[in-house]
Amino acid sequence: MLYKKMRKAKKLVSNKFTIDWTKPLIIAGPCSFGSYEELLSIAKELKKRNIEFMRAGTFKLRTDPYAFQGLGDKGVEILLRVRKELGLHVVTELTSIEQVKKYGNKIDIIQIGTRNMYNYALLKEAGKTKTPVILKRGFSASYEEWFLAAEYILKEGNPNVILCERGIRNNISNETRNVLDIQAIPYIKHNTNFRVLVDPSHASGNAYMVEPMSKAALVAGCDGLLIETHIHPEKSLSDSKQTIDFKTLDEIIKFRDSIK
Ligand code: PEP
Ligand code: MN
């Protein structure tokens, strides 16, 4: 297995940027967006905080087929425009082979979502690009299934796979969307050389939980956080309940900067 032989990179160097892993990375931005103006205003807030990576969903895989599905191709156009204007790096989820072919080498980081962790054809296509891939853990995936999904990307020649723990299914209560598997962090750090991010937004489903869960993940040694953030969370077109505002993001950044 290639993942077992992988070395721990101190830096992630893609053809477009370098991630220095000496301090946990923060990737923030909206779940999805509805206009250029909305995304630009969020991007400006990120820039003010020296956050270099913006997440923003364009092709949304929603549980409810009547829910907002993202702006699609128009969304990617807007994303690339905002990137150019503000000089940010952009992360967006791609959900089909066609999208990876079309945008895989244009965006900065490809996100593969939880629903697609088992989509091996999609993983292979992402492996054919030179773009770093954030691979979210499947809803109920074991560690081994997750690592082997990553292996599909590595096997095609793309070594830049970053794992993302985003909460796993729980059937005990529905007060939280999922359960954040904090133990995944030390497990991955101890047993593999993958970098691991934590997404406290999809894990908890509640904005008030995002700050404490981010702090817990940082203390547990994650390599970074992927956080749904909006200037006006209540106006977010998707996942508004779990989206934090910039005041909360500032608290998380402050905490990140306070730990060694
Ligand atoms: C997202 O990041 O907006 C998303 C849909 O995440 P997940 O695939 O983890 O549900
Ligand atoms: Mn979301």
Which residue segments constitute the domains of the chain, with CATH numbers given?
23-60+67-258 (3.20.20.70)
Tell me the pTM: 0.97
pLDDT value at residue 244: 98
Residue 220, pLDDT > 90, answer yes
Phi and psi torsions of 93, nearest 5°: -80, 135
Partners of 19 in beta bridges? 12
* Inter-residue contact 196 to 189 (CB < 8 Å): yes
Q: Is 202 close to ligand 1, i.e. is its CB under 6 Å away?
A: yes
Q: Which residue has the higher pLDDT, 63 or 242?
A: 242
Ligand 1 and 195: CB distance under 6 A: no
Cα–ligand 1 centroid distance for 197 (angstroms): 13
So what's the pLDDT on residue 9?
82
* pLDDT greater than 90 at residue 2: yes
Q: What is the pLDDT of residues 229-250, one digit of tens each?
A: 999 999 999 999 999 999 999 9
Residue to probe by mutation, ligand 1, list 71, 123, 135, 166, most atoms within 8 Å of CB: 166
pLDDT the model gives residue 83: 98
Share of the chain above pLDDT 90, in %: 92
CA–centroid distance, 195 to ligand 2, in Å, is 21
